[in-house]
Amino acid sequence: MKLVMIGHGMVGHKFIEQVLEYANDDVEITILAEEPHLAYDRVHLTEYFTGKSAKDLTLCRHDFADAYGIDLRLSTKATAIDTLHKNVTTHLGDIIAYDKLVLATGSYAFVPPIPGNDRKNCFVYRTLEDLDAIRAASLHAKTGVVIGGGLLGLEAAKALCDLNLDTHVVELAPRLMAVQIDEVGGKFLR
C-alpha cells in the first residue's frame, strides 16, 4: 500500500508514528513537507527566541525517514490532488501515486483583511522561518505590534519584548485572552 501524507507538522508526525507502530512492511510512506524542517514542536515555538534551536524543537530523530524507509520530501509543496487517478502533483512537477492520502496540513495564521497587512515587516507567527524573519527585522526596529491578545499573540508579544522592542498588543475583544479567562483575569493580565 502506498500512503502519501501532505504536511509534516506535529499531528502529521504523530500519525506517522502510529502507522509505523501498527503497520507492516507492506506500507510505502511518502511525506510532502512544505517547510524545510522535520516536524517540530510549534507549542514551544517561542523558545526559539530564547536560545532553543530548530534541532531542539524537532519531534523526531534527524534520520527518522531513512531509518524507517520513508520518502520524506522537505521543501516540497503539493499543488494538485487527482482523486480519480489517485496521485498528487508537487510544485516540482513530480507525480506521486497513492492508495491512501492523508492531509495533515495544519492551520494557517489568520491575517486580518486590513490595509497594509502585506507591507514589509508584517509577519505571521507560525513557522521557524517566520521567527527568523521577525528576529532579522527586529535588528532595525524599535517598536513591535501584535494583533491578537490570545495565548499565541501574548507569546509573540513576549518574544518581541525579549528582542528589546517597545511592544504593543491590539485586541478586538474587551480583554486579553477573552476565551481563556474572565474579566478580572483579563484586567490582571493587562
- Decide which of 58, 86, 103 is a domain's last residue: 103
Any domain includes 19: yes
- pLDDT score of 186: 84
Q: Which residues contact 54 (CB under 8 A, 6 or more apart)?
A: 37, 40, 48, 128
Q: Say yes or no: 78 and 31 in one domain.
A: yes
- Asked whether residue 177 is assigned to any structural domain, the reply reads yes
Q: Domain check: are 49 and 93 in the same one?
A: yes
Express each pLDDT in 114-124 by its tens digit. 899 999 999 99
Residue 2: all three cell numbers together: 502506498
pTM: 0.82
Return phi, psi of residue 128, to 5°.
Answer: -60, -35
Q: Does one domain contain both 99 and 133?
A: no
What pLDDT was estimated at residue 112?
87
Which residues of the chain are under the pLDDT cut of 70?
none
Predicted local distance difference test score (pLDDT) of residue 25: 77
79 and 155 assigned to the same domain: no
Beta strands in 50-174 (DSSP E): 71-73, 78-82, 87-90, 95-97, 100-103, 143-147, 166-170
Q: What is the pLDDT of residue 168?
A: 97
Cα separation, 22 vs 137, in Å, equals 45
Overall domain count for the chain: 2
Compute the distance between CA of residue 130 and CA of residue 8 in angstroms, rounded to an integer: 17
Domain assignment present for residue 58? The answer is yes
3-state helix/strand/coil string of 152-167:
HHHHHHHHHHHCCCEE
Residue whose C-alpha cell is 486580518: 112
Q: Which of 68, 100, 72, 83 is nearest to 3 (CA)?
A: 100
My answer on whether 17 and 75 are in the same domain is yes
DSSP-derived secondary structure letter, 83: T
Q: Is residue 122 assigned to a domain? A: no
Taking residue 127's Cβ as centre, other Cβ atoms within 10 Å add up to: 19
- The reported pLDDT for the residue numbered 59 is 93
Amino acid 133: pLDDT? 95
Residue 159 is assigned to a structural domain of this protein: yes
Question: CATH number of the domain that 87 lies in?
Answer: 3.50.50.60
Domain interval for residue 73? 2-103
